[in-house]
Structure 1
Amino acid sequence: MWKVIIRRILLMIPQLFILSILIFFFAKLMPGDPFSGLIGPHTDPHEVEALRRAAGLYDPWWEQYLRWLGNAIHGNLGMSYNLKEPVMTVIGHRAVNTFWMSLLSVILTYLFAIPMSIVAARNEGKWQDQLWLTYNSITFGIPPYVFYLLIIFIFGYSLNWFPTGGTVSPNAMGTIPVFFSKIYHMILPAFSLAVFGTVGIFTYFR
């Protein structure tokens, strides 16, 4: 078992190396550079040029790649010029919300999928079974991004039942109100993820 694990880890090293090269060069192929967004009607072009030189954008590509790779290995992904924070800090803040939303979507997935599979299995060939199989077929046929936009439009904009952005209501004060406000904000995206997650779980349990 340990030999298999070690072999898999060793195989991942060249794969990650190739992936890092692709990420770097795809980023370099994008138009502009990290400082292009700073240019405005009142911006001193000499200051922007100085920032580019300080960041090493005029260095040979292999020097830029090695510097970028070394920083990435050490967890230094640079600064967010929009938020004025380190990128890792920004990711860390978002990762917490992503974790809780993913956890809620997993809970909803099993809450939907297990009862559905039990009802379908006990009524094989009947209308209950056909209903859930139809649900599975429809879910397989709809692109997820189309469904997400539809859910946001219906429940977020048309019915105004759920918020379409943010993580907590501005008027939520105190630990308990903030907690329930966060849950309320996560219901719509978590439900959208759960709808597609139920398909695989339903098929397995049924």
Structure 2
Amino acid sequence: MKAYIIQRLLSLIPVMLVVAVVVFFIIHLTPGDPAAVILGPDASIEEVNHLREEMGLNLPIYEQFLIWITKVVQGDLGWSIYMDKPVLQAFLENLAPTLSLALMAQIIAILISIPAGIIAATKRGTFTDQTFMIISLLGISVPNFLLALLLVLVFAINFALLPVAGFQPLSSGILPHIQYLILPAFALGAIQAALIARVTRSSMLDVLNANYIKTARSKGVKKNVVIFKHALKNAFIPILTVIGQTFGQLIAGAVVIETVFNIPGIGQLIINAIMRRDFEVIQGTILLIAFSYVIINLIVDLLYGFFDPRVRLSAKN
């Protein structure tokens, strides 16, 4: 198992290198002068040229990349001139709201999707099954920003049950923290819930038709025991895979939702950095998001052994 973990960690190096190359060159090849944007329209040409030289923008692009990637390898993601702080510090300061939003969205998605998928699988072909699948199709089809606006209109404006926008840190209390996150978390997790529900239904149907499930039923094992102890555990690997993938997507896809609900998270940080042409922040933040995504997938791979003993055996071999 240790060898497997080391192998997977080493495989992250080329992935992160590709991400770094793509992000750096896409950002630097887009039109616009970061120095001019940072200084504003009233800045003189001399001031702009001085800032460009200070930021290293006068160097050839390949030299800029080599300087940046060398610093990244050493743990230095750069310095934000606009915010006057290290990129890593800015990322960590904005991480808590995004992480809270993504965790709550994932919890909501799991609590809704897995029971719905199990019920749909056990009632295959019935009105209940068709209803759940239609709802899941709608969940996949409706954009999360549109759902967010509808939720705000209904629950925050019409009924005034929840805050319209904003964020309260966990230090302000659990209840205010949850109240401000319910609407954005539901809007963010709706697509994930629909996807997990469909995968749960499909995986459960494959397992429920297996011979050992039929044998357990013929022996008189209770229905709930068959479903949750035998069927769900054996069907959980595809479900776990999609949960891990969707959690990474939640972190990366929180940009729009954080903008709609004015949450000071990573999404807001990226949007502000793009508007200010703050290259260092954009590059460092996207690189950290990509790194978190691949780490989450690694953790999911390691969790396979808990649900399937064959994975543990293959790891030992």
TM-score bin (small chain):
0.7 to 0.9
- Which letter does structure 2 place at the counterpart of 1:120? A
Q: Which whole-Å CA distance do the structure 1 matches of 2:35 and 2:153 have between them? A: 35
Identity of aligned residues (%): 30
> Cα distance 1:34–1:105, how it changes in 2: closer, same or farther (>3 A)?
same
Query: Is contact 1:109–1:195 with CA below 8 Å preserved after alignment?
Result: yes
> Any residues of structure 2 matched to 1:119-134 within 5 Å, and which?
119-134=119-134
- Which letter does structure 2 place at the counterpart of 1:65? F
- Which letter does structure 2 place at the counterpart of 1:93? E
Q: Return the structure number with greater relative CO, CA threshold 8 A, min gap 6.
A: 2
Residue of structure 1 equivalent to 2:27 = 27
Question: How far 1:198 moved relative to its partner?
Answer: 1.8
Runs (5+) with no aligned partner, structure 1: none
> Any residues of structure 2 matched to 1:49-68 within 5 Å, and which?
49-68=49-68
Question: How far 1:165 moved relative to its partner?
Answer: 3.7
- Deviation per residue, 1:129-174 (Å, 9 max, x gap): 22111112222333444434444455455655444543129xxxx9
Question: How far 1:31 moved relative to its partner?
Answer: 1.9
> Any residues of structure 2 matched to 1:73-152 within 5 Å, and which?
73-152=73-152
Q: Which whole-Å CA distance do the structure 1 matches of 2:178 and 2:147 have between them? A: 21
By percentage of residues, which structure has more helix? 2
Of 172, 183, 186 in structure 1, the residue corresponding to residue 181 of structure 2 is 186
Query: Is contact 1:156–1:163 with CA below 8 Å preserved after alignment?
Result: yes
- Which letter does structure 1 place at the counterpart of 2:182? I
Query: Is contact 2:105–2:189 with CA below 8 Å preserved after alignment?
Result: yes
Q: Which whole-Å CA distance do the structure 2 matches of 1:64 and 1:131 have between them? A: 55
Q: Which whole-Å CA distance do the structure 2 matches of 1:13 and 1:168 have between them? A: 37
> Cα distance 1:42–1:138, how it changes in 2: closer, same or farther (>3 A)?
closer
> For 1:35, what is the secondary structure of its paired residue?
helix
**More moved, 66-75 vs 5-14:** 5-14
> Cα distance 1:132–1:59, how it changes in 2: closer, same or farther (>3 A)?
same
Runs (5+) with no aligned partner, structure 2: 202-317
Q: Which whole-Å CA distance do the structure 2 matches of 1:138 and 1:63 have between them? A: 48
> Cα distance 1:84–1:204, how it changes in 2: closer, same or farther (>3 A)?
same
Q: Which whole-Å CA distance do the structure 1 matches of 2:99 and 2:130 have between them? A: 34
Q: Quick check: 1:39 aligned with 2:34?
A: no
> Cα distance 1:48–1:139, how it changes in 2: closer, same or farther (>3 A)?
same
Q: Which whole-Å CA distance do the structure 2 matches of 1:107 and 1:160 have between them? A: 24
Query: Is contact 1:39–1:45 with CA below 8 Å preserved after alignment?
Result: no
- Which letter does structure 1 place at the counterpart of 2:85? E
Q: Which whole-Å CA distance do the structure 2 matches of 1:98 and 1:133 have between them? A: 30
Query: Number of residue pairs matched?
Result: 201
Tell me how large the CA RMSD over aligned residues is: 3.0
> For 2:34, what is the secondary structure of its paired residue?
coil
Q: Which whole-Å CA distance do the structure 2 matches of 1:15 and 1:107 have between them? A: 29
- Which letter does structure 1 place at the counterpart of 2:177? K
